[in-house]
C-alpha cells in the first residue's frame, strides 16, 4: 500500500503542470526546497523516479505520466466531494471555476457579476485566456466549464449555444470605405487585414468564410489580442475582423466604424462547454442554466444589444 499524502499529490500535480519546482513553489506559496523534498519523499514511497532533468528543464518519466493520471483523478474527486458537501449546507454556496475566451471577457464579467449578486456566497474563479489554452483546460478537466466559440468536432465535449456572436469588419473612421454601402466582398481583396494569431476562433472563422467565398485576402501584422487590433485599425494600419462584442463601445463612441459589407456580419454563437459525462456541481449547474435561460437578455441589458448596434451601423453607413 502506498503511503502518500494529499499534500504530496498537490505538490506533484503543480510541478507536473508547470514543469518547474520553482513555479510550483510560487503557486503553492512554499519554498523551492520544501517542494523538492516532498517530491523526493513521494518518489521514495512509490519506488520509481517521477521526473528527470535534461539540461535546465524537468520532464515527467513514464512512471510520472502514469501517476499524474491517478493524482488528478484523486484531486478532482476530492474537489467534487468538497463542493457537494459545501452545497449540502445550503443552496447558493459553493465554488465555480470558469475560463472564458479573451473575446468573451467583454460580456462574461457582466454575466458573472449578475450571477454573484444573486448568489453572494458563491466563490468564483475566473480565467481569461486564448482558445488553445481553453481546449487544453477542458482536456485536463481543470475547469467546471468554459465560454468560447464552437469547439472542434470530435472532442469529448458538450457544447451548448446561449448567445449570438457576430463578426464585423472594422475600419478607421476616415477610411475610404467608411461611408460606402453594400461593399462587395471582392473589393476587400484590395485591402490589408490585421489578424489574430493562428488558432484563434476569430481567425479560424474568418479564414473559413473567405475560403468558402473564394476570396483571397492580404493579411498584414498578426496580433495576439483584440485590443492590439483595435488600436492598429484606429492608426490606419489596415482593416480588422472582430466580434461585435469587442468593438461595441468604440462604435458607439465613433472611434471605429463597422463597414457595410455584403454577407456580413459573419454569424456565430457563444457556447458554454464542458466535458461529456462531467458531473457538474449544483453551483456549476445553476450557472449553466443561468447562461442558457438569461445570458443573452442580461448581456443586452448591460449594453451588448447586438442587433441594435448592427442597425445603427447600417444606418450610419
pLDDT digits (tens, 9 = 90+) for 153-189: 888 899 999 988 899 999 999 999 998 999 999 999 9
Strand boundaries in the chain, DSSP class E: 51-54, 57-60, 94-101, 122-129, 145-148, 157-164, 167-172, 192-196, 218-223, 239-243, 256-258, 269-275
**Interatomic CA distance for residues 121 and 95, integer angstroms:** 9
Residue count (the chain) = 317
Residues 170/242, Cβ–Cβ less than 8 Å: yes
The Cα-based distances of 290 to 38, 101, 287 in angstroms read: 42, 19, 5
Residues 256/175, Cβ–Cβ less than 8 Å: no
193-240 per-position pLDDT tens digit: 999 888 788 888 889 999 999 999 888 788 888 899 999 999 999 999
- CA 317 from centroid of its chain's CA atoms: 33
Residues 171/227, Cβ–Cβ less than 8 Å: no
Residues 279/273, Cβ–Cβ less than 8 Å: no
Q: Which three cell numbers stand for residue 227?
A: 485590443
Is the pTM for the entire model greater than 0.85? no
Residue 97, Cβ density class (10 Å: 0-12 exposed, 13-18 middle, ≥19 buried): buried
Count of CB atoms situated within 10 Å of the CB of 312: 14
DSSP assignment letter at 150: P
Domains of the chain: 6-75 (1.10.10.10), 90-164+269-305 (3.40.190.10), 167-267 (3.40.190.10)
**Interatomic CA distance for residues 156 and 116, integer angstroms:** 29
**Interatomic CA distance for residues 230 and 241, integer angstroms:** 10
Q: Which residues does residue 35 pair with via DSSP β-bridges, in sequence order?
A: none
Q: Which three cell numbers stand for residue 231?
A: 488600436
Residues 317/182, Cβ–Cβ less than 8 Å: no
Count of CB atoms situated within 10 Å of the CB of 124: 16
Q: Which residues of 207-240 are buried (b: 16+ CB within 10 A; e: fewer)?
A: bebbeeeeeebeebeebeebeebbebbbeebbbb
Q: Which residues contact 98 (CB under 8 A, 6 or more apart)?
A: 108, 112, 124, 125, 126, 127, 143, 144, 145, 146, 147, 287
pLDDT confidence of residue 311? 47
Q: Which three cell numbers stand for residue 154?
A: 470530435
Closest CA relative to residue 13, chosen from 146, 140, 100, 143: 140
Residue ranges, the chain, pLDDT below 70: 84, 86-93, 300-317
Amino acid at each position: 500500500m502506498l503511503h502518500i499524502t494529499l499534500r504530496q499529490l498537490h505538490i506533484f500535480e503543480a510541478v507536473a503542470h508547470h514543469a518547474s519546482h520553482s513555479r510550483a513553489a510560487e503557486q503553492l506559496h512554499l519554498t523551492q526546497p520544501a517542494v523538492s523534498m516532498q517530491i523526493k519523499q513521494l518518489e521514495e514511497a512509490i519506488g520509481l523516479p517521477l521526473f528527470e532533468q535534461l539540461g535546465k528543464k524537468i520532464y515527467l518519466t513514464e512512471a510520472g505520466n502514469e501517476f499524474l493520471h491517478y493524482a488528478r483523478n484523486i484531486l478532482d474527486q476530492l474537489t467534487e466531494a468538497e463542493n457537494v458537501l459545501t452545497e449540502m449546507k445550503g443552496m447558493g454556496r459553493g465554488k465555480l471555476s470558469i475560463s472564458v475566451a479573451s473575446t468573451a471577457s467583454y460580456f462574461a464579467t457582466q454575466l458573472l457579476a449578475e450571477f454573484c449578486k444573486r448568489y453572494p456566497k458563491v466563490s468564483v474563479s475566473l480565467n481569461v485566456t486564448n482558445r488553445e489554452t481553453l481546449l487544453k483546460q477542458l482536456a485536463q478537466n481543470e475547469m467546471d466549464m468554459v465560454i468560447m466559440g464552437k469547439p472542434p468536432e470530435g472532442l469529448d465535449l458538450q457544447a451548448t449555444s446561449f448567445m449570438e456572436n457576430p463578426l464585423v469588419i472594422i475600419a478607421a473612421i476616415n477610411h475610404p470605405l467608411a461611408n460606402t454601402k453594400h461593399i462587395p466582398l471582392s473589393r476587400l481583396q484590395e485591402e490589408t487585414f490585421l489578424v489574430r494569431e493562428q488558432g484563434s476562433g476569430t481567425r479560424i472563422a474568418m479564414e473559413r468564410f473567405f475560403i468558402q467565398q473564394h476570396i483571397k485576402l492580404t493579411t498584414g501584422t498578426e496580433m495576439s489580442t483584440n485590443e492590439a487590433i483595435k488600436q492598429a485599425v484606429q492608426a490606419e494600419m489596415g482593416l480588422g475582423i472582430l466580434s461585435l462584442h469587442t468593438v461595441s463601445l468604440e462604435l458607439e463612441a465613433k472611434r471605429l466604424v463597422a463597414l457595410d459589407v455584403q454577407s456580413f456580419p459573419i454569424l456565430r454563437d457563444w457556447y458554454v462547454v464542458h466535458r461529456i459525462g462531467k458531473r457538474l456541481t449544483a453551483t456549476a449547474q445553476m450557472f449553466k442554466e443561468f447562461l442558457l435561460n438569461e445570458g443573452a437578455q442580461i448581456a443586452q441589458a448591460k449594453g451588448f444589444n447586438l442587433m441594435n448596434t448592427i442597425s445603427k451601423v447600417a444606418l450610419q453607413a
